[in-house]
Amino acid sequence: MKAAVIIPVYNHQDQISEVVRKCLALELPVIVVDDGSTDTTGQQLASINGITVCRHKTNRGKGAALLTGFAEARKSGCDYGLTIDGDGQHNPDDAPALLEVAAQAENRCLVVGVRRDMSGVNVPWTSRFGRGFSNFWVRMAGGPALRDSQSGFRLYPLPETMHLDVRARRYQYEVEVLVQARLQGLSIKEVEIEVIYQERGERISHFRPWLDFMRNSATFSRLIFWRVLRGFRP
């Protein structure tokens, strides 16, 4: 297996340089997708050697950024994409654990990092509520029963993932891809990872609770509708 690190980023000028430098220590190709940042993210990325930077002129959403990163990784011959958020909440030192799970699996698989200790004082309520909400509705939509369906720290098998019929292009991509992967018989595994939430006021999140809740609801409604048409058969 040949893996590349893929980092989608949007206006995370305070964290992105450190995240990229930690990922470079993994000695894997590093691809950063700047999803239309309007702060100094682009300038910081331009000053770092040894990475590939793809840029969207306007913000198109996390799912679109991931797909751009997947395509770039495939161009360089990689067959796995290790996705890490650009806001600093993931510890790249956990990456070998995800790679090891895939290496030891009988078949090619998608590996999801399960965030530990989501009860910490700095963990926003939207993250705790969102994880439970998403886990339930992913299962109802015909997806796998997972402990953390919203984690962005994942290892994707690229050829299989890129051929899935996933329509969402923003945050909802990460939940829909799980449903479509299960429907296509792609194995999905989990491994525990560390999560780092900065103190309130330091962490920049682009998750908008009400708007993204509505988008999530629309995505799940569509997936459940098609599951009903299939007669609730997986």
Q: Evaluate whether 11 touches 206 at the Cβ level (below 8 Å).
A: yes
Which one, of 3, 172, 133, lies nearest residue 78 by Cα?
Answer: 3
Rounded to the nearest integer, the mean pLDDT of the chain is 90
Specify the pLDDT at position 116.
86
Which one, of 21, 35, 55, lies nearest residue 206 by Cα?
Answer: 35
Specify the pLDDT at position 209.
60
Residue range 151-173, pLDDT digits in tens: 999 999 999 999 999 999 998 99
Rg, the chain, Cα only: 17
Residue range 22-64, pLDDT digits in tens: 999 999 999 999 999 999 999 999 999 999 999 999 999 999 9
Q: Does domain 3-229 have CATH number 3.90.550.10?
A: yes
**50 alpha-carbon distance from chain centroid:** 22
Higher-confidence position of 174 and 218: 174
Residue range 73-98, pLDDT digits in tens: 999 999 999 999 999 999 999 999 99
Q: What percent of the chain has pLDDT over 90?
A: 75
pLDDT band for 196, please (50, 70, 90 cuts): confident
Across the range 207-215, mean pLDDT stands at: 66
Distance, CA of 77 to CA of 83 (rounded, Å)? 17
| Whether pLDDT at 233 is above 90 | no
What angle (nearest 5°) sits at the alpha carbon of residue 29, between those of residues 72 and 95? Answer: 110
Specify the pLDDT at position 19.
97
Q: Evaluate whether 20 touches 39 at the Cβ level (below 8 Å).
A: no
- Going from N- to C-terminal start, the domains of the chain cover 3-229
Both tokens of 233, joined, read 């058969």
Distance, CA of 112 to CA of 117 (rounded, Å)? 16
Both tokens of 172, joined, read 């909802």
Helices (H), 92-193: 95-104, 125-140, 158-162, 173-183
| SS3 at position 40 | coil
If phi over 0 gives left and psi between -120 and 50 gives alpha, with beta otherwise, what is residue 117?
A: left
| Whether pLDDT at 132 is above 90 | no
Distance, CA of 13 to CA of 42 (rounded, Å)? 8
Residue range 96-117, pLDDT digits in tens: 999 999 999 999 999 999 998 7
Across the range 203-221, mean pLDDT stands at: 70
Q: Supply φ then ψ for residue 35, to 5 degrees.
A: -85, 60
Inter-axis angle of helices 173-183 and 125-140, nearest 10: 30
Give me the long-range contacts of 43-48 (CB less than 8 A, separation at least 24): 44/13, 44/16, 44/17, 45/9, 45/16, 45/20, 48/17, 48/20, 48/21, 48/24
Across the range 176-188, mean pLDDT stands at: 96
Name the pTM for this structure.
0.88
Specify the pLDDT at position 197.
76
Distance, CA of 79 to CA of 213 (rounded, Å)? 33
